[in-house]
Amino acid sequence: MSLSNAPLEIHVHGDVPLRPDVQFEQIQEALKPLWKYGGARSLAGAAQSIYEEEPGIRFEKKEHVLQICWTVAGDEDFRQALDEMCMGLNELAQEGAAIEVTFYDVDFDEEEGDPEEDSRDDFAMLFVGPNPAAIMQVQRNLLVEDVVNLMERHFDGSELSGVVAEIDKLFGDRFDALVSSLEIGKRPRGGTGGGAGGSHGGRRPRHLH
């Protein structure tokens, strides 16, 4: 498919802490599904977003963090590239991290379009990490933040400890079921973080670092 007439603009956003021993060549290989999709021959060739105001794909050596704020033209087949990217980043991640992906329908006009026509806008939250426990930890933290933010409209934060405890129990039960007899890491623990996984429609603002 020619990206020049692609029906979607796809924005990928997230910060992934990497292991101290990870080298740029490993990052380039892990992100190969993205830069190949963009038609480049290397990560450097695709690191710049189609929007100049977005930082694109950057490796911050001092913090050893991969920063992504990058938009590419594409279609639904980009989801396969995302799946492959996540598998690659799992091998390099120091801890769990969330990556937001927003699909914008470039042809849909909410004001002038056909009211019977549905937008192809969509949003997905992806998770990467060195093991399932690290990924569940991020999912747990994001869910707690979302739930607390919602319920603090009606309750004081000090009243929500029981709600947080129930969320921890749900994730603990899920983790125990996953582990079964195999030891793969520590249980998700209490802490703070930001939004749960899943996907839903609707436009979301682009993030700029």
Element of type H or E holding 149:
helix 132-151
* DSSP per-residue letters across 5-37: G-SEEEEEEEEEEB-TT--HHHHHHHTHHHHHH
Q: What pLDDT digit, counting tens, does each position of 66-124 carry?
A: 999 999 999 999 999 999 999 999 999 999 999 999 999 987 655 555 555 567 789 99
Between strands 122-128 and 198-200, the pairing is: antiparallel
- Lowest-pLDDT range of 108-112, 150-154, 183-187, 205-209: 205-209
Tokens encoding 174: 């899920």
Greater pLDDT, 157 or 8: 8
pLDDT at 188: 66
The average pLDDT across 144-157 equals: 90
Question: Domain 3-131+195-200 class?
Answer: alpha beta
